[in-house]
Amino acid sequence: MARHFLSTLDHDSAELARLAAAALELKRRGRGAGRIPGAPDLAGRVLGLLFFNPSVRTRVSCESAMARLGGTSVALAAGSDTWRFEARPGAVMDGDTQEHVAELAPVLASMCDAVGIRKAELMTSGAQATSASASYAELARDEFLHAFARHSDVPVLNLESNAFHPCQGLADMATLQELLGAPRGERYVLTWAWHPKALPVATPHSQLLAAADLGMRVTLLRPEGYDLAPEVLAAARTRAEAAGGALEVTDDVEAAYAGARVVCAKSWGRLDAYGRPSEEARPAADLRARWIVDEAKLARGADPWFLHCLPIRRNVIATDGVLDAPRCAVVRQAENRLWTAAALLADRLGRA
């Protein structure tokens, strides 16, 4: 049975915390070093990457991690470089799709030692917004990803699906460990912010879980109507409490920032109008001004670190003042994508 990495929910909190800690150890040894000293040698190992959406950090972190372990990556832009893929069982493929995941997955698994997949709706370049092809509940089943994983006997890594972005979650865990030393019981705020497009929820899902898995006292701060998926909220609460933390959900901006050690910002669209922008009651201008992360809000916290998964729209999600301040850790958080990718790849491919 291949050890996939599809969601942090498939792994227990302690295992994730160990992976994050291993990443920080690789960072300590590997920074500026070329090949990471003491890490597994992945020479001749191949990471296949299938991107249905744009990427900067994910692509470069995976390829750079493989290179620093001695391995090789092959990145395909699905749709332009490749054929169109089918995931539905029993499909009569006389239309748009040309290759079924039942063949695609075992074939790539026979040529690669692991396969990373980014496939999510609503992830678009520029100002262009798209409509989702189905409700969030349907999209969250991530049919292609899970069908691929079932048909693959090498590890499949989720590089962001509709429901989860576990690589971001793992990087956030490493970053919280790095910034706080012992994050358990510390105050962490994940705050919604206004954005010109309705964005996916996979990243905030995995970020919320990251803080929960570390046993932090987690506050999800969002306007009414912008809740994350209930099954994720429930899991985050359970895991936070099991690890010595807590989860609260609020729309009280002032109260939420008070005492925060970490503020992580992210925008996402309403789940009840997911990918149907015309039906979404657009956040009004006062939401924009009220929810942007600025220096005044951060001043209510306990000298908090500022996090964001990037890319971030400056002066929309957070002000220049926040992003250019010494307590802004977004670049460090992004760099940790590299070291957590390395830790994950070393763990999955190093023993093979």
Subset of 97-116 contacting its own copies (CB under 8 A): 97-100, 102-104, 106-108, 110-113
325 is a contact residue toward its own copies (CB under 8 A): no
E-state strands within 176-295: 187-192, 217-221, 246-250, 262-266
Identity of the amino acid at 223: P
327 is a contact residue toward its own copies (CB under 8 A): no
SS3 for 182?
coil
CA–CA separation, 11 and 4 (whole Å): 10
# residues near its own copies by CB under 8 A: 79
230 is a contact residue toward its own copies (CB under 8 A): no
Paired tokens of 162 = 């509709």
Residue 63 CA to its chain's centroid (Å): 17
Among 82, 185, 259, 277, binds its own copies (CB under 8 A): 82
57 is a contact residue toward its own copies (CB under 8 A): yes
289 is a contact residue toward its own copies (CB under 8 A): no
Closer by beta carbon to its own copies, 95 or else 326: 95
32 is a contact residue toward its own copies (CB under 8 A): yes
Q: How far is the CB of 46 from its own copies (least distance, A)?
A: 5
326 is a contact residue toward its own copies (CB under 8 A): no
Full DSSP string of 247-279: EEEE--HHHHHTT-SEEEEE----GGGTT-TTT
CA–CA separation, 350 and 352 (whole Å): 6
Among 5, 17, 59, 214, binds its own copies (CB under 8 A): 59
Across-strand partners of 306? 263, 328
295 is a contact residue toward its own copies (CB under 8 A): no
48 is a contact residue toward its own copies (CB under 8 A): yes
Q: How far is the CB of 178 from its own copies (least distance, A)?
A: 13
Among 93, 182, 296, 299, binds its own copies (CB under 8 A): 93
CA–CA separation, 212 and 201 (whole Å): 17
Paired tokens of 143 = 């049919």
287 is a contact residue toward its own copies (CB under 8 A): no
Q: How far is the CB of 167 from its own copies (least distance, A)?
A: 13
Candidate ranges 42-50, 215-223, 259-267, 297-305; the one touching its own copies (CB under 8 A): 42-50
55 is a contact residue toward its own copies (CB under 8 A): yes
Closer by beta carbon to its own copies, 232 or else 341: 341
Please answer whether residues 115 and 109 qualify as being in contact, where contact means their C-beta atoms are separated by less than 8 angstroms: yes
Count of H-run helices and E-run strands, the chain: 13, 11
Q: Residues 6 or more apart from 152 whose CB is under 8 A from it?
A: 2, 4, 105, 106, 108, 109, 115
Q: Which of 217, 186, 215 is nearest to 304 (CA)?
A: 186
34 is a contact residue toward its own copies (CB under 8 A): yes
Please answer whether residues 47 and 115 qualify as being in contact, where contact means their C-beta atoms are separated by less than 8 angstroms: yes
| Region 184-223 residues binding its own copies, contact defined as CB under 8 A | 196
Please answer whether residues 283 and 222 qualify as being in contact, where contact means their C-beta atoms are separated by less than 8 angstroms: no
Q: How far is the CB of 25 from its own copies (least distance, A)?
A: 17
Q: Which H, E and C letters describe 78-114, residue by residue? A: CCCCCCCEECCCCCCCCCCCCEEHHHHHHHHHHHCCE
Among 1, 28, 38, 125, binds its own copies (CB under 8 A): 125
284 is a contact residue toward its own copies (CB under 8 A): no
Candidate ranges 74-82, 178-186, 237-245, 278-286; the one touching its own copies (CB under 8 A): 74-82
Among 1, 28, 38, 127, binds its own copies (CB under 8 A): 127
Among 19, 20, 68, 219, binds its own copies (CB under 8 A): 68
Among 7, 23, 52, 86, binds its own copies (CB under 8 A): 86
| Region 131-170 residues binding its own copies, contact defined as CB under 8 A | none
Closer by beta carbon to its own copies, 93 or else 182: 93
CA–CA separation, 214 and 206 (whole Å): 12
